[in-house]
Amino acid sequence: MNQSSSDWPLWEVFVRSRQGLSHKHVGSLHAADAGMAISNARDVYTRRQEGVSIWVLPADAISASSPVDKDILFDPANDKVYRHASFYDLPDEVKNM
């Protein structure tokens, strides 16, 4: 038996649990094609009424930022406090701002 001829590719699964929320990554599964991936995702990840919408993506289609670059990608945002509303002190008399 040829192992690779029967291996199904890996798919990442994203589920929207309720109308109004975004899709959240819930895990992965194996399927031969996208239609099967969605059916399988429905059976595996939404048995307890956990979903209204499913996205599936071949695992190798995902590009990820490298953890090694975590500091150069994300640290520079740390010292730009002026992007947050709380940085701005206004007199108490000012309403609606």
Partner 1 sequence: MEAMNLNDRFEDYIAADQKIEAKDWMPDEYRKTLIRQISQHAHSEIVGMLPEGNWITRAPSLKRKAILLAKVQDEAGHGLYLYSAAETLGVKRGDLVAALNEGRAKYSSIFNYPTLTWADMGAVGWLVDGAAIMNQVPLCKCSYGPYARAMVRVCKEESFHQRQGFQIMLNLCHGTDDQKAMAQDSLNRWWWPSLMMFGPNDESSTHGEQSMRWKIKRFSNDELRQRFVDMTVPQAELLGLTVPDADLQWNEKSGHYDFGAINWTEFFDVIAGNGPCNKERLEARNKAHNDGAWVREAAVAHAQKVKARHSNQTNAA
Partner 2 sequence: MTKDEHFEWLLWLADDALILAQRLSEWCGHAPVLEEDIALSNIALDLIGQSRAFYAHAGQLEGLGRDEDQLAFFRTDRDFRNLLLVEQPNGDFGDTIARQFFFDQFALLRFTHLAQQSFDTEVAAIATKALKEVRYHAAHSAEWMIRLGDGTEESHQRIQDSVNRLWEYTGECFESNSFQTAAEKANVLPHAESAHQEWMATITNILSQATLTVPNSTWMQKGGRQGRHSEHLSYILAEMQVLPRTYPDAQW
Does the protein bind partner 1 through residue 62 (CB under 8 A)?
no
Interface residue with partner 1 among 16, 17, 28, 55 (CB under 8 A) is 28
Sequential DSSP letters for the chain: --TGGGPPPEEEEEEE-STTSPPEEEEEEE-SSHHHHHHHHHHHH-TTS--SEEEEEEGGG-----GGGHHHHHGGGTT-GGGSGGG----TT----
Q: Rounded to the nearest whole angstrom, what is the least distance from the CB of residue 7 to partner 1 in the complex?
A: 5
- Contacting positions for partner 2 (CB under 8 A): 8, 29-32, 35-36, 39-40, 43-44, 47
Q: Rounded to the nearest whole angstrom, what is the least distance from the CB of residue 47 to partner 2 in the complex?
A: 8
